[in-house]
Structure 1
Amino acid sequence: MDAVVPFGAEERKVRAARRFGRIGLVLTVAWLLAVPAFVVWTGLPAPGFAWSLAALYVAALALHLWRIREHVTSLGRPASVPFVVATSAVALALALVGLASAWSGWFWGLVSGVLLGDIVSGMRARRIALWVVVATGTVLGLGLLITHQRDYGIPLPPWLGPALAAFYVCSMWLVDVERVWWLKAVTDLDYSRRVAAELATARERLRLADDLHDILGHALEVVAFKSELASRLLDVDGERAKAEMEEVQRVARSSLTEVRALVRDARATDLAAELAGARTVLDSAGIELVVRGDPATVTGPARSVLGRVLREAMTNVLRHADPRRCTIEIEVADGAARLRVVNDGVGPGSAGIGGTGLKALGRYLDDHSGRLDAGPGPDGTFHVDAVLPGTAR
């Protein structure tokens, strides 16, 4: 069976990434709480601005927490239009009122920058760039108009406050967007990992189903054929009928051994052994067998792969045709191994011969970098042609 990928370490990495994402959320909120603390430490704003800034700050914090809640339920979803309008108004008002309130009012631009990140998260890159340029230019331009009309009593250039506020707006949105992008990347990778695990499981189930079809389909077909032959010979040739029933027992036990080997992942097929078995079965059925080529020339993985191809071909010969002649050609050239099985006795309307088994065989050859061509011919024959390159896995 295919090796099962150990997901324990990967699961720990995903959990660690999510934990760091939550830590980032906490740090962002901490930064938002640091803004009023800094303003209080540097001096309370003018009385006319204190309540306005407090109300805007509470509204900004509520909008940011609301956006975090949206990301938790649907990470990466663009913000709704009402949220964009409300957040834009609060962010711009907070930056401008902050600049008008005190010389340290530029620090409120940090909150406006975080809110800008809430607005643009989930947008395409061009729209994000447009929003950042417009928001930065608006805060800088209107901030310069406000600070030129204010006297803070401190010898600072009037452009410094608006420039710092614009800088925070231009840069702090990255913190929010980068955190959301990181969390979304981790979530998508985790989802992809789980899908890969499910696909691997489904693929392994399909492989087991194909192998069981290969083992039991061939065995049951041989058992049915030889049992029918033994019943016909019972009154004519008792010794031969007994020999055929002993062969039925051998095939049944061999198939049981293969099923057990399949469970232990120790099953193997061999082209030479399958060719010997095919010769015995076809001789019992009175079908002329012509073999061209030597199975000993096929080596490596191709020996087992083509052995399975021959087994499925013999199953089709017994189940779907009434042949008088079967030809098996084995060829090795330019590092590639080829097996071709052709039988006659195929009636009209037999395009779907061996449909399930041949589809499974085609998938099996694809897995080993090979190619399968099978189908009826115009002269009442059916061919199974498998080619396996030297690079077969």
Structure 2
Amino acid sequence: MDLAVPLGAEERKVRAARRFGRIGLVITVAWLLAVPAFVVWTGLPAPGFTWSLAALYVVGLALHLWRIREHVTSLGRPASVPFVVVTSAVALALTLVGLASTWSGWIWGLVGGVLLGDVVSGMRARWIALWVIVATGTVLSLGLLITHQRDYGIPLPLWLGPAVAAFYVCTMWLVDVERLWWLKAVTDLDYSRRVAAELATARERLRLADDLHDILGHALEVVAFKSELASRLLDVDADRAKAEMEEVQRVARSSLTEVRALVRDARVVDLSTELAGARAVLDSAGIQLVVRGDPAVVTGRARSVLGRVLREAMTNVLRHADPRRCTIEIEVADGTARLRVVNDGVGPGTAGVGGTGLVALGRYLDEHSGRLDAGPGPDGMFHVDAMLPEAVR
């Protein structure tokens, strides 16, 4: 069975960018290998320069490959001080010895420019500009001094070689640095995309955990309460005990349906339905309920959001308090829907205890541009106050 996961369009783009970046590195190395081939083709260096040029070239190529290895492991990291010192010395020596060796020695400036790119990659822009200006000026001035003391036996101006070498030094570093900059930009964007995907996954898991807490926490609290009530009524009122157990079955089946809907992302919570459920539960518990306002005045997405708030508030009433009365207020004013639940019976050991439900509910309202205030008030009552725009999506 094929378990390969198909790549998305963004992943393919990132891989293509990395592939072209590596191809660019290979092309740069190919250019460096073409330099000695060009020198041999145009004429071997003058006696006394061959071995020194060969040694400097091998060292320069090794330094470039070393820098590529550093970029592969830590793209964009500035070069170390020893690397900067050694590479700068090798690049300058190779360029100047190349100018002194033959009339075509300006080609060695190409290697010097690439090595300059290895030196300045990862630096700040102002330091790069300073390095390039100093390196170009040094190659041009010392190159002119060297070529004026040489006679190549060809009808070309003596300044031409140093000028071309300085041009290579001034420009070739940009090819190296720009390619690495683009490769790093693509890598950083890919990393940001992956982090965003991981955060989205974590957020979805948190949302699922909050919804499960909302469904099962409330359902299990109602089941536990009604089961205890039925056991107490069994000997004194068998018919009512049976009715309570039937209600336990209904709540369990309803919760199972909601869990399945949650898995299908089709769960609907309605304020009117939750208010009817709260009324039934509190009546069974002998808790006086006062409702002010009509849930029908709340429309749109706000009905579902406030329905979830009411469910969590009822869960807290049953779990964290021993109330005798509870008040539910529903209103819409100035485009803002508000639900306020107030209950007594909050003892000193449970005051302020909201578990994780109210914390999750606060996050849920934040996601819908709403606000949740919950906690014990100075009147000894526990308040849950939720507000959000009625036109929330």
Match of 2:61 in 1: 61
How many Å separate the matches in 2 of 1:334 and 1:7?
Answer: 49
Q: After the TM superposition, which of the residue ranges 41-50 and 11-20 deviates more from structure 2?
A: 41-50
How many Å separate the matches in 2 of 1:37 and 1:351?
Answer: 85
The TM-score with structure 1 as length reference comes to 0.96
| 1:265 to partner: Cα distance | 1.2
- Corresponding position: 1:332 with 2:332: yes
Query: Match of 1:327, as an amino acid?
Result: T
| 1:42 to partner: Cα distance | 2.2
- Corresponding position: 1:371 with 2:358: no
1:134-181 CA deviation, whole Å, 9 max, x = no partner? 111111111111111112222222222111111111111111111211
How many Å separate the matches in 1 of 2:47 and 2:337?
Answer: 91
CA contact (8 A) 1:350 1:376 kept: no
Match of 1:139 in 2: 139
How do residues 52-201 of structure 1 correspond to structure 2 at under 5 angstroms?
52-201=52-201
How many Å separate the matches in 2 of 1:148 and 1:331?
Answer: 93
Match of 2:383 in 1: 383
CA contact (8 A) 2:56 2:90 kept: yes
| 1:27 to partner: Cα distance | 0.9
Match of 1:237 in 2: 237
1:174-200 CA deviation, whole Å, 9 max, x = no partner? 111112112211222222222222211
| 1:127 to partner: Cα distance | 1.7
- Corresponding position: 1:210 with 2:213: no
1:32-67 CA deviation, whole Å, 9 max, x = no partner? 122122222222221221222122111111111111
Match of 1:258 in 2: 258
How many Å separate the matches in 2 of 1:200 and 1:130?
Answer: 44
How many Å separate the matches in 2 of 1:290 and 1:352?
Answer: 23
The TM-score with structure 2 as length reference comes to 0.96
- Aligned-pair RMSD on alpha carbons? 1.4
The answer for unaligned runs of 5 or more in structure 2 is 1-5
1:235-292 CA deviation, whole Å, 9 max, x = no partner? 2222111111111111111111111111111111000000011111111111111111
What's the secondary structure of 2:152's corresponding residue?
Answer: coil
| 1:357 to partner: Cα distance | 0.3
CA contact (8 A) 2:299 2:390 kept: no
What's the secondary structure of 2:341's corresponding residue?
Answer: strand
Query: Match of 1:344, as an amino acid?
Result: D
Match of 1:12 in 2: 12
CA contact (8 A) 1:94 1:112 kept: yes
| 1:202 to partner: Cα distance | 1.3
What's the secondary structure of 1:44's corresponding residue?
Answer: coil
CA contact (8 A) 1:348 1:380 kept: no
Match of 1:283 in 2: 283
How many Å separate the matches in 1 of 2:155 and 2:385?
Answer: 91
Match of 2:295 in 1: 295
Match of 1:315 in 2: 315
Aligned-residue sequence identity (percent) comes to: 90
CA contact (8 A) 2:301 2:391 kept: no
Query: Match of 1:114, as an amino acid?
Result: V
The answer for unaligned runs of 5 or more in structure 1 is 1-5
Match of 2:350 in 1: 350
How many Å separate the matches in 2 of 1:47 and 1:93?
Answer: 17
1:81-137 CA deviation, whole Å, 9 max, x = no partner? 222121111100011011111121111101000000111111222221221111111
CA contact (8 A) 1:78 1:123 kept: yes
Query: Match of 2:144, as an amino acid?
Result: L
How many Å separate the matches in 2 of 1:257 and 1:81?
Answer: 67
Judged with a 3 Å threshold, the aligned counterparts in structure 2 of structure 1 residues 347 and 384 are, in CA distance, closer, same or farther, namely same
Match of 1:392 in 2: 392
Query: Match of 2:104, as an amino acid?
Result: S
| 1:355 to partner: Cα distance | 2.5
Query: Match of 1:191, as an amino acid?
Result: Y
Q: Which runs of 4+ in 1 moved over 4 A?
A: none
